Amino acid sequence: MEAGGNALDAVEQGVRVTESDKTNLSVGLGGFPDRDGNTTLDACIMNHKNQCGSVGFLQYIENPISVARKVMEDTPHVMLVGDGALEFALSKGFTKSDFKSDEAQKAWKEWLKTSEYKPIINRENHDTIGMIALDAEGNLSGACTTSGLSFKMRGRLGDSPIIGAGLFVDNEVGAACATGLGEAVIRIAGSSIVVELMRHGYTPQEACKEAVERLIKKHDNQVENLQVGFIALNKNGEWGSYSVYSGFNVAHRDLENEKLVDSEFNRPW
Ligand code: GLY
């Protein structure tokens, strides 16, 4: 972006790095599989014109975010899932990969010994990468991508392919992205709420905090082991983040600084 690139290209290229990192256990083909041993990927992308694209339950493709962008740009739709998403990706020249991470497969085999099904997000299996950016033209874009909850039920989608839950951008206001337990984020239309709060005058930090507090309230304060975090950025380049539990990091970069920040949180882990 310093060289004049736009926010949409930046967020796509940015999250591709993590998707292609085969050692990452919660994003991309290296991620933990579902409970049947299949790695299924979810991603979405949104630009400054409220155009968006999404893929869910996509298998065998290294960079789902780029398929999501193609859905946005080359189809009249927002979302493609499963075999249809794969077929579309192959038709657009993406190649199929059978890569499976040894570490993720080992963890899955270990899990199979008890097959205890508990949708929990914690420090060890924390998930999604979300990236939001504001470019020199004053345009916002966002992207998020994940292999989802480890050992999830086959067919389960979280918040990350859902516009308004895992990601929302409104170029008049700001952008927000979520990580953590997708079901909890979907229940409050998380990223959309953060953007709406900013529209009504909340700073990005206040908006993320209010969304997390609302989420906790809507779960009757029963949030043991339930981690969710939001990041937000407004049109002025101000940003914020907040999570249910400690342990959520945000990487922030502008023309002067680059830093990894421990997010503020509601309670210690
Ligand atoms: N936040 C990612 C997921 O729940 O799948």
CATH of the domain at 71: 3.60.20.30
CA of 76 to the centre of ligand 1 (A): 26
pLDDT of amino acid 51: 98
Residue 18's pLDDT band (boundaries 50, 70, 90)? very high
How far apart CA 45 and CA 99 sit, in angstroms, is 24
Residue 121's pLDDT band (boundaries 50, 70, 90)? low
Identify the residues whose C-beta falls under 6 Å from ligand 1. 127-128, 146, 148-149, 158-160, 179-182
120 pLDDT higher than 80: no
Residue 87 forms part of a structural domain: yes
pLDDT of amino acid 114: 87
Question: What number is the average pLDDT over the span 142-169?
Answer: 96
Residue 40 forms part of a structural domain: yes
Residue of 126, 151, 160 best suited for mutating to test ligand 1, as the one with most atoms within 8 Å of CB: 160
Residue of 125, 185, 226 best suited for mutating to test ligand 1, as the one with most atoms within 8 Å of CB: 185
Residue 149 forms part of a structural domain: yes
Protein residue with its CA nearest to atom 5 in ligand 1: 148
Say how far residue 149 (Cα) sits from the centre of its chain: 12
Residue 204 forms part of a structural domain: yes
Residue 88's φ and ψ, nearest 5 degrees, are: -60, -45
Whether 147 contacts 40, CB under 8 Å = yes
123 pLDDT higher than 60: no
CA of 238 to the centre of ligand 1 (A): 26
Residue of 121, 131, 153, 186 best suited for mutating to test ligand 1, as the one with most atoms within 8 Å of CB: 121
Residue 141 forms part of a structural domain: yes
pLDDT of amino acid 203: 98
Q: How many domains does the chain have?
A: 1
Q: How far is CA 234 from CA 62, 134, 146, 160, 215, in A?
A: 31, 8, 24, 20, 21
pLDDT digits (tens, 9 = 90+) for 41-55: 999 999 999 999 999
Question: What number is the average pLDDT over the span 153-177?
Answer: 97
CA of 255 to the centre of ligand 1 (A): 31
Q: Name the active-site residue from 18, 39, 40, 128.
A: 128
Protein residue with its CA nearest to atom 4 in ligand 1: 182
pLDDT digits (tens, 9 = 90+) for 167-187: 999 999 999 999 999 999 999
Residue 64 forms part of a structural domain: yes
How far apart CA 153 and CA 36 sit, in angstroms, is 8
CA of 159 to the centre of ligand 1 (A): 5
Question: What number is the average pLDDT over the span 237-258?
Answer: 94
Residue 1 forms part of a structural domain: no
Question: What number is the average pLDDT over the span 174-201?
Answer: 97
CA of 27 to the centre of ligand 1 (A): 10
Residue 2 forms part of a structural domain: no
pLDDT of amino acid 126: 60
Q: Which domain holds residue 261?
A: 7-267
- The question of whether 128 is a catalytic residue gets the answer yes
How far apart CA 104 and CA 110 sit, in angstroms, is 10
Residue 225's pLDDT band (boundaries 50, 70, 90)? confident
How far apart CA 138 and CA 235 sit, in angstroms, is 7
Arithmetic mean of pLDDT over the chain: 94
Residue 116's pLDDT band (boundaries 50, 70, 90)? confident
In this predicted structure, which of 119-123, 194-198, 217-221 has the lowest mean pLDDT? 119-123
**158 Cα nearest atom in ligand 1:** 5
